[in-house]
Structure formats: structure tokens, C-alpha cells
Chain A
Amino acid sequence: MRHSLLVRITHWLTALSVAGLLVSGVAILIAHPRLYWGETGSLETTSLIDLPLTLTLGHSGWGRYLHFLSAWLCVLTGLIYVLSGLVTKHFRRDLLPARSPLAGPLLSSPADSYNVVQRVTYLCVVFLLFPFIVVTGLAMSPAVTSVTPWLATMFGGHQSARTIHFFAASAVTLFVIGHVTMVAAAGFAVRVMAMITGGRAAAQEHV
């Protein structure tokens, strides 16, 4: 698989931002590791889920600073990636499965392309999961929802948005684990080098 320079740069910026988002997300979460449904929820009310985490105060200050810095990096990088991917037809060429899925390999991983499962997963993460997690995050913002109140109400309220944001973040975590595992199974050093240098080494290894 040969990766263009833009794909390589945006991949690592996204990786950096997701690492920042997950670390800071946990830092914010442990200040109140209880999830609710609806608009309100506190220690005075019943929770939907009590996460098995110890309530630890004092980390949401830097956690929030890092979360929003990483979120900006993620969103701006994502916009550049998606716009350039549309212009260069990267999505159509490399990620959109063929008309008949049976025409392409379903699970086997050719050295110069992605199989159908990989294609569908990447497209879902880029075009569904990431926009969804951004929107559920913004639904918690009292300033943003002053302009777009429907953003909070369509998820069932402020606390519902927070709960859904948590599960979306869990899905991102599962994707990262799956992604890194697959890369490791396919040859970690070769695949990582391909995403750094552009894939010349990978092409040779897979001959």
C-alpha cells in the first residue's frame, strides 16, 4: 500500500489528536464516573451506569484544556483529509468497495490495496464515527446549544449526549485497538514504515 504524503501527515496528526482526546477524556471522566440519561444527573439522582472507576478530582482542568486543543487538531486535520481525499479521489479509488463486493477480496489483505472489511471500516470511522463524536461533544456545550438547541434535544438531553459521547469514544478506542492489532498481524514495522515513508519498503517486502 503506497500512502500519499498528505495521507501520511494527516494520519499521524490524527493519531496524535486521538491519543490526546482519549487521555484527556479519561481525565475529565474520572471527575464524575457516572453516566445518566436525560438533561440532568448528579450524585443526588440515580445513574444509568456507574463506571468502575474511582472518583478522582483535580484532573479536569488540564484535561479540558488538552481535550479541546486535541479536538481542534482532530477536526482541522480531518477536514483537510476529507477535502483532499475528495479532490484526489482517494476515497473512491482506495476506500469505496467495488460495486460487487465479491469482485474484491473480502478479508485477505493484498499488499497494494485494502480488502472490503478494511474499506468499510475506514469509511465508517471517517464519515460516521468521527462526525458523530464531534456532534455529541458539541451537544454538551451550553454556548453552542444556545444557537442550536435541537443539538442537545435530539440526543435526549445534555446528560444523554454525554453518555452517547462516552460510548462513541469507546468505539474509537475499539477501532484503535483493532487497527493496531491488524497492523501488527500484517507486519508492524513494515506497515508503520509504509505510513511514515510512503510505502516503498512495504512494496519490496510484499513481492
Chain B
Amino acid sequence: MSTRITRRRLITTAVTAAAGVSGVGVVASIANRYGLIPPDHQGLYGVGETLTYAAQRVLTSGHSLAREFDRSQISSAPPVNGEAPEKASYQRQLAGGFSEWRLPIDGLVARPASLSLADLRALPSRSQITLQACEEGWSFIAEWTGAQLSSVLELVGPAPHARYVFFFCYDDWFESIDMADAVHPQTLIAYGMNGQNLPPNHGAPARLKLPRQLGYKNVKYLSRITVTDSVADVGEGLGGGAPEAGYSWYAGI
């Protein structure tokens, strides 16, 4: 076999490489337009994350519902992962039965609002018995009651170019989800668990329930919701505390 590099072969190789690179560019731009690129898409791990997120977004594009269970399957001893925040601002609210608690919803919205627990309870409620799986490996089933996030968003009117909903918490944690999950019927601002008020260790007064993703995306002790069109200006620009701590932003698997 000749190893001589002919001009023709050099040109063919260069054209093929250019077509390959621009092809990847075109695919990336289309994928981004359809919301198939996660915020933590950088680096080698980002390749796997992007494939997983894009594949699962396409697979679940029909608003598929997470599995729901029978009341008899509810776990008798739901595990507690992390205690309620010690900080004074939270403890004061807890002592006052969260009567002064308000949940501001701001950002790219037409009508910013600040909801009390009574306001949330006045919205149409949904109860669902779902499995919460932790990335560590354990899981439990509980009944969650709350307002659909889609109803909350309808109140405030997100801008047409809104792409993410950020959740800020009393334990200084924050996470974000995309609009596909935000308007999903099972995505709740939950204030009840197993027929009771949400216990402090499970996120009182209200937490996010997102049963198509793992436990760590279901953040507790909500203090604020912000609608954005980008993750760039929040924290390190990765879309949440989990990716900043080395965990994937999207947790559908």
C-alpha cells in the first residue's frame, strides 16, 4: 500500500473533516433550539450527559407520566435525608407555622407574584403516590399533595422565550429545571405528604416534586422561584447546586 499523500487525498480528507465539523455544528445548533443540550454539556462527561438528556427528552416528549402507586404501597418509614435548616430565618418561619412565609415568583414573567401557603392551597390541588429514588440507591413511596407548577406559572405568565425555572431554598441550595418539566402535570409545589402538612425534615413548608427525576432534584424548603432564559447568570452558570457539586443537572436516570 502506498503511503504517499497525494494532493487529491489531502483535499478529500480536508473537505470531509470540514463537513464533519460543520455537521456537528449544525446538529448542535438544532439540538439547542429544541432544548436537547443540558447546562452541564462541557467536557467528556458532557457528551454522555447530552446524549442522555436529548434521548430522554425525545422519549418523554409526550408528557409521559411517572409511575403512580397504590395507597397500600406507601412506605411506612420514609427516610429523612438531611435535617431542616438551622438558620434563624427558617426557624422563625417554622415556629410561626409559616404564616409569614411567602414564595416570590419573579424573573421573566409578566406578573411577578408572592404567594402565601393559603394562596398555594387555593390553587387546584393534585395528589400523587410516587416513588422517590435517590442517586445513592435507596427509594421510598409517598403521597404528595400540592399545586401544579404549571398553575403557578399561569398566574405569573412566563415570557415566551423562558427556558428554565430556578428554585431557591432556605438551606441555600438551588436547582433549575427546563420548561418541559416545569409544565409537566406531575410537577408540584408540594405542601402535603401522606395526608399531613409537609414535615420540616421533608421540606416544609413547600418543596418541588418532580417524579420523573431523582430525589436530589426534588428540592426542599422553597424560598423563591425565578424564571430565566439562561443558566449563565445564576451561581457558576451550571444550572444548580448539584452540577456545581459534581452531580449531573438532569437526573432522569
Contacts and interface: CB of A to CB of B under 8 A. Distances in A.
Interface stretch (A40-48, A80-88, A100-108): A40-48
B77 A149 contact: no
B137 interface: yes
A127 interface: no
A91 interface: no
Interface stretch (B26-34, B96-104, B128-136): B128-136
Interface string B192-234: 0000000000000000000111100000000000000000000
Given A141-B252, A146-B65, A65 B48 contact: yes
Contacts of B49: 65, 68-69
B79 A43 contact: yes
B253 A42 contact: no
Contacts of B59: 143-144, 147
Contacts of A71: 48
B137 A72 contact: no
A191 interface: no
B44 interface: yes
Contacts of B56: 141, 143-144
Interface string B16-51: 000000000000000000000000000011011101
B245 interface: yes
Given A31-B136, A69-B47, A162-B137, A61 B247 contact: yes
Contacts of A162: 137
Contact of A40 (B64, B140, B211, B253): B140
B52 interface: yes
Interface in A28-63: 28-29, 31-32, 34, 39-45, 57, 60-62
A140 interface: yes
A32 B67 contact: no
Nearest to A67: B48
B60 to A, nearest CB: 5
B193 to A, nearest CB: 15
Interface string B57-81: 0011010111101000101011100
B133 A142 contact: yes
A138 to B, nearest CB: 8
B73 A39 contact: yes
Identify the interface centre among A32, A44, A62, A65: most chain B CB within 10 Å of its CB: A65
Nearest to A159: B139
Nearest to A38: B73
B199 to A, nearest CB: 15
Contact of B45 (A32, A57, A65): A65
B67 A29 contact: no
A192 to B, nearest CB: 24
Interface string A143-161: 1111101001000001100
Contacts of A159: 139
A68 B214 CA distance: 15
A146 B52 contact: no
B138 A32 contact: yes
Contact of B133 (A28, A31, A138, A140): A140
B66 A68 contact: no
B141 A28 contact: no
Interface of B: 44-45, 47-49, 51-52, 56, 59-60, 62, 64-67, 69, 73, 75, 77-79, 131, 133-141, 211-214, 245-248, 252-253
15 contacts: A28-B135, A32-B136, A34-B138, A40-B75, A40-B131, A44-B78, A61-B248, A64-B248, A66-B45, A68-B253, A138-B253, A142-B66, A142-B133, A145-B67, A147-B64
